[in-house]
Structure 1
Amino acid sequence: MGHKEELLEGAKKSLLELGFARTTARDIVARSGTNLASIGYHFGSKDALMLEAITSAMEDWGNVVATAPQGIEYDRPDEKFVAVWTQIIESFHRDRPLMVASFEALIEAEHNPILKQILVQAYPASSEDLPEQFLTVEETLEPSARAALGKVLLALISGVLTQYMVDPKTAPDANQLLVGLTLLGRLLGNNSKG
């Protein structure tokens, strides 16, 4: 592994141990076994390295949790939905330091235009695959409907994560999400026009 990869791994470790806002260049160097000059050479700045680290860490997290358990055939769409949500909610507990770092990055983005742009670019891409990851989606679903569904699922992840960060005991579990969304759909369906 070269210095660039070691720095990225050191930055990821720092994110988990110290958080996004409190990590210094010296923290990264200590965890990577490199030197301060390597940060500038490979990434330009500590901030650029931290941006890459949080982006990479969240992509790693998404690749692991946002899919239904493999090798299982689901008879009904609600079974897949509950299975995926169960994994995600378990990850909120298991990966809490990463979740905290992601919140810190969102707050930092308000004052950091480069980070803001990275997040702006990442959000649409991260919602595109969510319908298939969470549900059994008909191929005939219109692209605009598929996009809307992905955006709602992404908003749901963010909202449930926020509730878990504040108080895991009162946040919904996978079955409560299913019941609540089913009821919401039923109520909206009864009142929709045309």
Structure 2
Amino acid sequence: MGNREDLLAGARRCLEEKGYLRTTVRDIAAASQVSMAAIGYHFGSREALLNQALFAAIDEWSDAVGGLAGEGESAEERFADMWDRKVRNFGELRWLWIANVEAFVHAQSSPELLAALAAGQRAARPHVAALLRGVPESEVAEADARSLGSVQIALMTGVMVQTLTDPEQAPTGRELAAGLRGLAALLDEGGGPGAAPGSGTTGGWKS
């Protein structure tokens, strides 16, 4: 490998061992056995190098799991199995998801990184909607991308944080399916935030 590839591999090791925020230029240089000056020459900055290493790891994960499609006879069983697989994956690749969270925090003071994360999020919506629909991405309507895609991404982010915070109490796939059914029932029956006490199947939500 050349210096550029060595630096990417070293940055990947640093992300696994130290995370996004605590990794320094010196750490990357030591892990890659390349001079610190080479980071600026090839990538411009520590941040740009870490971003490339992180995005490459995410792409690698995405290619490997293929959407983590679930198995089962019914749609609900396949949905539950898919989420059980995702929860296990969050635990197995804990370093990757923690690095994602740290990158999001850092992006609030880095317009370039924030723009890259936003672009990735926009691209992910139709992709995950297509996986849920079982159709090619080219056949996903904008409305589905904005609804199904956004909800699935929201679930992924929320379940990921819950799993990283309290792995033993992470929600199961069946619990998530039941929760979505419960939310749908609240919407159908007029319950939810702001509903009158006793309305809906659960008697309304606590504020």
Bin of the TM-score, shorter chain as denominator length: 0.7 to 0.9
| 2: CA distance, partners of 1:157 / 1:115 | 20
Who is 2:92 aligned against?
Answer: 94
SS in 2 for 1:67: coil
Q: Are 1:65 and 1:88, in contact at CA under 8 Å, matched by a contact in 2?
A: no
Who is 1:162 aligned against?
Answer: 161
Who is 2:108 aligned against?
Answer: 110
Superimposed CA distance per residue, residues 148-189 of structure 1 (whole angstroms, 9 cap, x where no aligned partner): 110110011001111112212222111111111122223323
Q: CA deviation at 1:8?
A: 0.9
Q: CA deviation at 1:133?
A: 2.5
TM-score of the aligned structures, taking structure 1 as reference length: 0.86
Superimposed CA distance per residue, residues 9-65 of structure 1 (whole angstroms, 9 cap, x where no aligned partner): 111110110011110112112212222222112101111101111222222223334
| 1: CA distance, partners of 2:148 / 2:102 | 27
> Relative contact order (alpha carbons < 8 A, sep ≥ 6): 1 or 2 greater?
1
| 1: CA distance, partners of 2:141 / 2:49 | 39
Tell me whether 1:79 sits opposite 2:74 in the alignment. Answer: no
Who is 2:129 aligned against?
Answer: 131
Tell me whether 1:35 sits opposite 2:39 in the alignment. Answer: no
Q: CA deviation at 1:66?
A: 5.5
| 2: CA distance, partners of 1:7 / 1:43 | 9
Who is 1:56 aligned against?
Answer: 56
Q: Gaps spanning 5+ residues in structure 1: where?
A: none
| 2: CA distance, partners of 1:75 / 1:146 | 26
Query: Which amino acid in structure 1 is aligned with residue 172 of structure 2?
Result: D
CA RMSD of aligned residues (A): 2.5
Query: Which amino acid in structure 2 is aligned with residue 38 of structure 1?
Result: A
Query: Which amino acid in structure 2 is aligned with residue 170 of structure 1?
Result: Q
**Shift in alpha-carbon separation, 1:140–1:128, aligned structure 2, 3 A:** closer
Q: CA deviation at 1:147?
A: 2.8
Who is 2:3 aligned against?
Answer: 3
| 1: CA distance, partners of 2:127 / 2:140 | 14
Q: Are 1:68 and 1:133, in contact at CA under 8 Å, matched by a contact in 2?
A: no
Who is 1:181 aligned against?
Answer: 180
Superimposed CA distance per residue, residues 77-104 of structure 1 (whole angstroms, 9 cap, x where no aligned partner): 2232223212210111111111111111
**Shift in alpha-carbon separation, 1:189–1:141, aligned structure 2, 3 A:** farther
| 1: CA distance, partners of 2:10 / 2:83 | 30
| Number of residue equivalences | 190
| 1: CA distance, partners of 2:187 / 2:128 | 22
| 2: CA distance, partners of 1:168 / 1:59 | 24
> Percent identity over the alignment?
34
**Shift in alpha-carbon separation, 1:115–1:146, aligned structure 2, 3 A:** closer
